[in-house]
């Protein structure tokens, strides 16, 4: 199937669904459109201009970040695909929404972010990776109904774990599988720009989520032009990169880590190009001035830092992500904000940005006032967690010899922790695990967990985490964990 027929077949039935919402308000007075674009496994450190990020090339994202507002301390509370999506979709913590790890199905007993925007009169759309439908990595069709979580214009993709001529989507009405040829992110963007164009003359505001899979592994299947761009370029590795025999996984060589970066950066360059297409479509259809545009990611990627690949650990390479926002005439231009901001805050904040009262069930904070350049909440702590069991992925198991660019070094512990403006702290099941002073030690290379001078601070952090676990219905055996001491190296 060619791309033109794919777009027509996959979208025509689902665009501009009607509702019972009063459409009396004019385009001039209506709420803003909301476009939430996020890719997968894109760490904050892999943005142009960040230390040790050469030779990365993402000109559209770089320009978008510099021209608008960047939330510089955006943190993924649970740096893993499905748990991030569960928190984003429900505004609740994992043990409250049931998505405590990958491969679980999100229930229908929540007022999702799709529902709340639909109730406020929005047309709602979702394009891309879903990863909330249980085992099978979204390979099965989800018929119209409650499991679409309030998104009426639904274009979810299956088999996203490879990026070139492998994934498929569905006719949203019939469930017919549609498997076009080409680069997955380009095909998803085809759908997104078609929907934006079809919404141009809608009397309703619209809210759309676009979920790309790259630069998530595998990293050796980016478009040829992007792979060629980086193939001959040398890579800067972060000073906390560890090669050789890792405490946490197979042997990783410097060459294999550099090769991983080249492929990772190739996917980022490709995502950047597709994001540019989306922004151009907003301009071309005259909708840019009344559309809130956000670019972010679900979590980061260790990429060899601390001898690890993948995510699910409290290190900043795993938890810190980009979050850039543009709302012309409302959000500051060319500014940064250092407020602590996390996944659990996104649902209520998107509501606040759109002028919708966040539902009372949301566990996060509405930071929209800060994003409007006004005084607002100034959080002191962001909480961190990883689930209850290891979940190796086949793409990582292939890397046992250290030569495969797609993974290796994957052994994330179950932990609970927090980060502040100055510190990162985590407790594993077998005891206090790590404490870093991120100001004095920005690459988190000196673990202070056994320093006598830090014990009062640890006790303060323990109290904060214990209270959060109770509020979030989290069964982590915290008191028993901190009573133990771990002798394992970090």
How confident is the model over 302-351, as pLDDT tens digits?
A: 999 998 889 999 999 999 999 999 999 999 999 999 999 999 999 999 99
Residues constituting the chain: 490
**pLDDT number for residue 304:** 92
Average pLDDT over residues 259-279: 97
Confidence label for 18 from pLDDT (cuts 50, 70 and 90):
very low
- Where is mean pLDDT largest: 15-29, 138-152, 280-294? 280-294
Rounded to whole angstroms, how far apart are CA atoms 470 and 12?
Answer: 47
N-term to C-term CA, the chain? 50
Compute how many other C-beta atoms are within 10 angstroms of the C-beta atom of residue 483: 10
**pLDDT number for residue 400:** 31
Average pLDDT over residues 178-185: 96
Confidence label for 173 from pLDDT (cuts 50, 70 and 90):
very high
Beta-bridge partner residues of 382 = 419
Confidence label for 243 from pLDDT (cuts 50, 70 and 90):
confident
Q: What are all long-range contacts of 59-65, with beta carbons under 8 Å and residues at least 24 apart?
A: 59/272, 60/272, 60/273, 60/275, 60/276, 60/279, 61/272, 61/275, 61/295, 61/322, 61/324, 64/275, 64/279, 64/293, 64/295, 64/324, 64/326, 65/322, 65/324
Whole-number percent of the chain with pLDDT over 70 = 86
How confident is the model over 404-439, as pLDDT tens digits?
A: 444 444 568 899 999 999 999 999 999 999 999 999
- The alpha carbon of 316 is separated from its chain's Cα centroid by a whole number of angstroms, namely 14
Is the peptide bond between 218 and the residue preceding it cis, with omega within 30 degrees of 0? yes
**pLDDT number for residue 388:** 62
More confident residue, 475 or 251: 475
Q: The tokens of 90 are what? A: 């429900």
**pLDDT number for residue 251:** 52
> Mean pLDDT, the chain, as a whole number?
89
Q: Quick one: residue 459, left, alpha or beta (phi over 0 = left, psi -120 to 50 = alpha)?
A: alpha
Confidence label for 12 from pLDDT (cuts 50, 70 and 90):
very low
Residue 391 has pLDDT above 50, yes or no: no
Q: The tokens of 189 are what? A: 């963007």
Compute how many other C-beta atoms are within 10 angstroms of the C-beta atom of residue 191: 23
- Sheet with 69-71: list strands edge to edge: 153-157, 123-129, 206-215, 33-40, 291-297, 323-326, 69-71, 335-337
Sign, CA dihedral 268-163-177-87, equals negative
**pLDDT number for residue 387:** 85
How confident is the model over 394-411, as pLDDT tens digits?
A: 333 333 333 344 444 456
**pLDDT number for residue 337:** 97
**pLDDT number for residue 174:** 95
Q: The tokens of 183 are what? A: 């680069």
Give φ, ψ of 387 to 5 degrees: -70, -155
């Amino acid at each position: 199937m060619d791309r033109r027929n794919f777009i027509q077949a996959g979208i025509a039935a689902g665009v501009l669904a009607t509702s019972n919402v009063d459409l009396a308000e004019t385009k001039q007075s209506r709420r803003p459109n909301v476009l939430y674009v996020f890719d997968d496994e894109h760490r904050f450190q892999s943005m142009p201009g960040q230390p040790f990020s050469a030779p990365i090339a993402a000109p559209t994202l770089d320009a978008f970040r510099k021209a608008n507002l960047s939330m510089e301390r955006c943190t993924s509370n649970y740096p893993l695909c499905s748990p991030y999506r569960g928190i984003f979709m429900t505004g609740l913590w994992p043990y409250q929404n049931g998505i405590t790890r990958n491969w679980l199905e999100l229930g229908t007993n929540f007022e999702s972010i799709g529902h709340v925007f639909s109730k406020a009169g929005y047309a709602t759309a979702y394009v891309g990776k879903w990863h909330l439908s249980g085992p099978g990595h979204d390979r099965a069709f989800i018929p119209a109904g409650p499991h679409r979580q309030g998104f009426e214009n639904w274009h979810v993709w299956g088999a996203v774990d490879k990026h070139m001529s492998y994934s498929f989507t569905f006719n949203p009405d019939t469930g017919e599988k549609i498997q076009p040829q080409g680069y997955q992110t380009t095909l998803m963007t085809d759908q997104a720009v078609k929907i934006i164009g079809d919404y141009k003359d809608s009397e309703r505001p619209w809210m759309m989520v676009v979920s790309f899979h790259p630069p998530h592994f595998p990293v050796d299947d980016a478009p040829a032009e992007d792979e060629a761009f980086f193939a001959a370029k040398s890579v800067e590795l972060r000073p906390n990169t560890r090669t050789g025999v890792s405490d946490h996984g197979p042997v990783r060589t410097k060459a294999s880590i550099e090769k991983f970066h080249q492929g990772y950066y190739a996917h980022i360059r490709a995502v950047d190009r597709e994001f540019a297409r989306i922004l151009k479509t907003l301009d071309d259809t005259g909708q840019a001035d009344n559309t809130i545009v956000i670019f972010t990611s679900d979590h980061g990627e260790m990429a060899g830092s601390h001898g690890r690949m993948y995510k699910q650990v409290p290190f900043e390479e795993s938890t810190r992500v980009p979050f850039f926002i543009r709302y012309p005439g409302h959000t500051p231009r060319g500014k940064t904000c250092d407020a602590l901001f996390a996944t659990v805050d996104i649902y209520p904040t998107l509501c606040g940005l759109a002028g919708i009262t966040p539902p009372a069930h949301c566990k996060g904070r509405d930071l929209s006032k800060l994003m409007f350049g006004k005084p607002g909440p100034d959080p002191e702590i962001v909480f961190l967690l990883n689930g209850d069991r290891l979940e190796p992925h086949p793409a990582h198991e292939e890397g046992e010899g250290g030569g495969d660019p797609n993974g290796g070094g994957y052994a994330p512990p179950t932990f609970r922790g927090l980060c502040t403006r100055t510190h990162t702290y985590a407790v594993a099941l077998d005891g206090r695990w790590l404490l870093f002073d991120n100001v004095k030690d920005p690459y988190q290379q000196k673990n202070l967990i056994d320093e006598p001078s830090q014990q009062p601070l640890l006790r303060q952090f323990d109290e904060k985490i214990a209270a959060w676990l109770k509020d979030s219905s989290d069964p982590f055996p915290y008191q028993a964990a901190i009573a133990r001491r771990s002798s394992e190296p970090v």
